Amino acid sequence: MNVQKNYYKIGIIALFATFTSCKMLAPVENVEKPELPVSFADSKDTINSATIKWKSFFSDKNLQSLIDTALTNNIDLKMTLQDIEIARNDVRIKKGLFLPTVSGGLAVGTEKVGRYTSTGAGDASTDITPGHAVPETLNDFSLGIRASWEVDIWKKLRNSKKAAATRYLATIEGKNFVVTNLVAEIANSYYELLSLDNQMDVIKETIQLQKNALEIVKVQKDAARVTLLAVRKYEAEVLNSESLEFDIKQQIKENENKINFLLGRYPQTIVRDKTVFESQIPIQINSGIPSQLLANRPDIKQAELELFATKCDVKAAQAEFYPSFSISGGLGFQAFKPSLLFTTPESLAYSLLGELTAPLINRNAIKAEFNKAKAYQVQAMYNYQKTILNGYVEVSNELSNIKNLEQLYALKSKEVEALNSSISISNDLFRSSKVDYFEVLMTQRDALSSKLELIEAKKREFNAVVNVYKALGGGWN
């Protein structure tokens, strides 16, 4: 009796030590959302372009078709969908832990114990049935069910399930973020392709202009008005422009292949209308207010969900220190002969056990798991703050970029207009011998360069609009 009292005392002391030490292992405090500035620059308009669906945002039918194909065939997106499936099944696994584990089975065995053992000696002096001694070799047939269930007293299982469900939602936001980036990348590559098409037209037009000038110089050389040097200079200029044409062709090919790769298909011609590039004006962007990023950007929502999941992980890890209560039992039939298996009540067998256990020796390992979970939570907190900061910086950069590019494009347009008129002026002056061939060459070269730069500026305008749309969180809806 005294021994039993000592066991009870030891058990009570162990449980007291468990609860006392658990108080020292407090989880991380709740994390507040970082405060964002009230506006981007000086605008306080609440209208946000991120709410516009991508099919309405991009009016080009060819671009819409490309995006539609990518959303069906893109390999990275398909891989992300499998992440969602993995997370969904993880939730099912965690949900299953709430229910009792029930298993049924049929067992057949045989056993022979040593005669000079307590069991063997007892069997030798016992009749299994009246007049029949227990045989040395005894068969065992059993049929029944077994069940066990851990009662979720400290919400360990519930927090594990909550963490899994939250991560499932985070994978959906991760998929939305992949879609946002995919839509933006295809749109940027498409506008890059259109700009290259227009650059090709400019180069071909310039080559024809240079060839016409070359014929004039040849005539003037025959008339001894210019030297052979002028002819060679013009020929070199034509060859230089023709080399640019092949460089643009290669860039067009690589851009088409890039788009086809994003669409999950082998290289083929990308259907497009290059006149759209000149006629279409980049859409006007409404940035809204910074706090809307928290609701619109999938990566921010994903980081927030991951943070909440780690908080649940910490609670589940903390519950490992507390005693766990489990119930187990079994019910079935057991006999040494198949014919006696269903003879009741003699062959009926059952068991029931309620068990309360607390960790004692392996507490350092549990403490390490708890501290690891806390470290993951702190890491997720910093990642959440970093993602919000990154989102604000991206929007701020692209809004500034749009403003500056508008000014750049306006100036480049005036520069091209001035150089276009200077080409005809320089040609007229050259024919009347008022300027030499070198000035004509430089004028044509400057005009070509400014035209290509104007197209590049227009492309950058389109890219900036696409990028700010992505930065605001648009494109996934």
Among 14-28, 249-263, 311-325, 329-343, the minimum mean pLDDT is found in 14-28
pLDDT given at position 20: 46
Instruction: List all residues 6 or more positions away from 173 whose beta carbon is below 8 Å from its beta carbon.
Output: 298, 299, 301, 302, 305
Highest mean pLDDT among 212-221, 305-314, 336-345: 305-314
Gyration radius of the chain over CA positions: 40
What value does the mean pLDDT of the chain take? 86
Lowest mean pLDDT among 33-37, 139-143, 291-295: 33-37
With bands split at pLDDT 50, 70 and 90, how would you rate the model's confidence at 27?
A: low
Contacts with 383 (C-beta within 8 Å, 6 or more apart), sequence order: 303, 306, 307
Residue 64, classed as helix, strand or coil, is helix
Query: Looking at the chain, how many residues does it have?
Result: 477
CB-neighbour burial class of residue 159 (10 A; exposed 0-12, middle 13-18, buried 19+):
buried
Is 110 strand, coil or helix? strand
pLDDT of residue 408: 92
The helix-helix angle for 437-471 and 228-262 (nearest 10°) equals 10
What does the pLDDT read at residue 383? 94
- Report pLDDT for 438: 65
* Residue predicted with more confidence, 6 or 392: 392
pLDDT tens column, 462-474: 999 999 999 999 9
Other Cβ atoms within 10 Å of 285 Cβ, number: 24
Residue 7, pLDDT > 60, answer no
pLDDT at residue 376 greater than cutoff 80? yes
| Amino acid identity for residue 15 in this structure | L
Q: Strand, helix or coil at 148? A: strand
- Give the bridge partners for 332, in sequence order: 144, 349
Per-residue confidence (pLDDT) for residue 3, from 0 to 100 = 46
d(CA 336, CA 110): 9
> Is pLDDT above 60 for 186?
yes
Among 160, 155, 157, 148, residue whose Cα is nearest residue 355 = 148
Give Cβ neighbours of residue 310 (< 8 Å, ≥ 6 apart). Answer: 163, 373, 376, 377, 379, 380
Say if residue 17's pLDDT is above 60.
Answer: no
- Place 139 in a pLDDT band, splitting at 50, 70 and 90: confident
Rounded Cα gap, residues 289 and 268, in angstroms: 42
- Whole-number pLDDT of residue 396: 92
Sheet holding 101-112, edge to edge: 101-112, 137-151, 324-335, 348-357
**What are the φ/ψ torsions at residue 345 (nearest 5 degrees)?**
-90, 5
The answer to which of 36-45, 143-152, 183-192, 393-402 has the lowest mean pLDDT is 36-45
Q: Which of 26-35, 130-139, 260-269, 449-458 has the lowest mean pLDDT?
A: 26-35
- Within 10 angstroms of residue 348's Cβ, the number of other Cβ atoms is 14
CA distance 323 to 326: 10
pTM beyond 0.75: the answer is: yes
